[in-house]
Amino acid sequence: MATFNQALFAFAHPDMMQDRPAQMALAVASLDAMAGQFSTGGRWWTMDPIAKMQMLQARTRVRAILGISEAAPSQAVINQLVSASKALDAGDQDAALRALSGGVFTQPAPQTLALLTHFPAVPIANHATVAASQDLYPMGGGGRGMH
C-alpha cells in the first residue's frame, strides 16, 4: 500500500507537492490504479461502496485536470506517468516530456509537466483517499474495515 500512501499524502498536502512533479506523477498513477482496483477487485468487496465511488470520482477529476480521457486504460495512464516520474528523477526532462506526449495525454507535454509541477488542490481526491484509507487502515482511521 506504499503507492496508496503516496496518493493519500499528495492529495492531503498539495502545497508540499509543489515543484515535485516526479512525486506528483506517482501519486496520480497510484490514485488511478487504486480507484480501478477498489471498484473491480474482489479483494476489496467489503470496502465501503461510497469510498469506492469517491475514488472513481477523484480519478475522473484528476484525469480531467491532466487532460486524460476517462476512457483511457488505467495501465496506460500508470505506465506513462511512472515513465515520466523515473525520467524526472534521473534529471532527463526530454524523456519526461516524451513520456507525457501522446498516448493517454491530450494536452501538450510541457503543459502536462507544468500541471504536475504545480498541481492544484483536488478536494475530492483528498476526501476519497482519506475515506479509502479508513477501510485500508481501520485501526488508524475511522473504524470501518475489511472484515
Please tell me the predicted confidence (pLDDT) of residue 139. 54
Model confidence band, residue 141 (pLDDT cutoffs 50, 70, 90): very low
Please check the confidence at residue 2 and state whether its pLDDT lies above 60. no
pLDDT digits (tens, 9 = 90+) for 70-88: 899 999 999 999 999 999 9
Distance CA 21, CA 85 (A): 7
**Mean pLDDT, the chain, integer:** 85
Instruction: Tell me the percentage of the chain whose pLDDT exceeds 90.
Output: 61
Distance CA 99, CA 96 (A): 5
Contact 135, 146 (CB under 8 A): yes
pLDDT digits (tens, 9 = 90+) for 19-60: 999 999 999 999 998 887 666 666 555 666 777 888 899 999
Higher-confidence residue: 133 or 146? 133
Distance CA 133, CA 11 (A): 13
Please check the confidence at residue 137 and state whether its pLDDT lies above 80. no
Query: Which spans in the chain are helix H?
Result: 2-12, 21-40, 49-66, 74-89, 93-99, 109-117, 123-136
Instruction: Tell me the percentage of the chain whose pLDDT exceeds 70.
Output: 80
Please tell me the predicted confidence (pLDDT) of residue 51. 75
